[in-house]
Structure 1
Amino acid sequence: MCLSAEDSPFLNFSLLKFLDRQGIYYGEATLTRVMGPASTQHLHLGHLYLSLGCTLLLLALVGWCSAKQASRGGLLFYLVILVIIFVVQITVASVVLTLFPLVRDLALEHNVVTLRKNYRGYKQPDDFSAQWNSVMERLKCCGVNNYTDFPGSSFSVVTGHAYPRGCCKSPGIAVCDGRNVSSSVIHQEGCFPKLLKITKTQSYVLSWISLGTAAMQLPGVLVALLLFVKLG
Structure 2
Amino acid sequence: MGCFGFLKVMMFAFNGIIFLAGAGILGVGIWVKVDSGSVLGVLQQIQDAPAELGQLLNVGYLLIAVGAVLLIIGFLGCCGAVRESRCMLLLFFVIVLVVFIAEVAGAVVILVFRPLAEELISKLGKQATKNIRDDYGRNSDVTGLWNTTMDTLKCCGFNGYNDFTGSPYYNETSHQYPPQCCLHAASPCSAAAAQTASNTTITGCFPKFKKLIEDNSVVIIAVALGIAALEVCAMIVSMTLYCKIGSKRG
Band of TM-score, shorter chain: 0.5 to 0.7
* Partner SS, residue 183 of structure 2: coil
* Partner SS, residue 172 of structure 1: coil
List gaps (5 residues or longer) in structure 1: 64-73
1:54 match: 75
- Residue 148 of structure 1: which of 162, 169, 172 is its match? 162
Residues in 2 aligned to 1:13 and 1:162: alpha-carbon distance in whole angstroms: 56
Residues in 1 aligned to 2:222 and 2:18: alpha-carbon distance in whole angstroms: 13
- Write the letter of the residue equivalent to 1:105: S
- Write the letter of the residue equivalent to 1:219: V
* Partner SS, residue 152 of structure 1: coil
Shift of the 185–164 alpha-carbon distance from structure 1 to 2, 3 Å rule, reads farther
Matches within 5 A, 1:58-97: 58-63=79-84, 74=85, 76-77=86-87, 80-97=90-107
- Residue 178 of structure 1: which of 187, 190, 207 is its match? 190
Instruction: Give how far 1:113 is off.
Output: 0.6
Instruction: Give how far 1:16 is off.
Output: 0.9
Contact 1:18 1:50 in 2 (8 A): no
CA-to-aligned-CA distance 1:145-183 (integer Å, 9 cap, x gap): 11121223333233232422231232337xx63232323
- Write the letter of the residue equivalent to 1:53: G
Instruction: Give how far 1:13 is off.
Output: 1.8
CA-to-aligned-CA distance 1:2-37 (integer Å, 9 cap, x gap): xx99735313223213424765885xx7xxx75957
Residues 1:229 and 2:241 are matched in the alignment: no
Contact 2:93 2:238 in 1 (8 A): no
Greater shift, 156-165 or 42-51, is seen at 42-51
TM-score norm. by structure 1 comes to 0.65
1:19 match: 17
- Write the letter of the residue equivalent to 2:10: N
TM-score norm. by structure 2 comes to 0.61
- Write the letter of the residue equivalent to 1:215: V
Residues 1:113 and 2:130 are matched in the alignment: yes
* Partner SS, residue 83 of structure 2: helix
Aligned residues: 207
Aligned CA RMSD, in angstroms, stands at 4.3
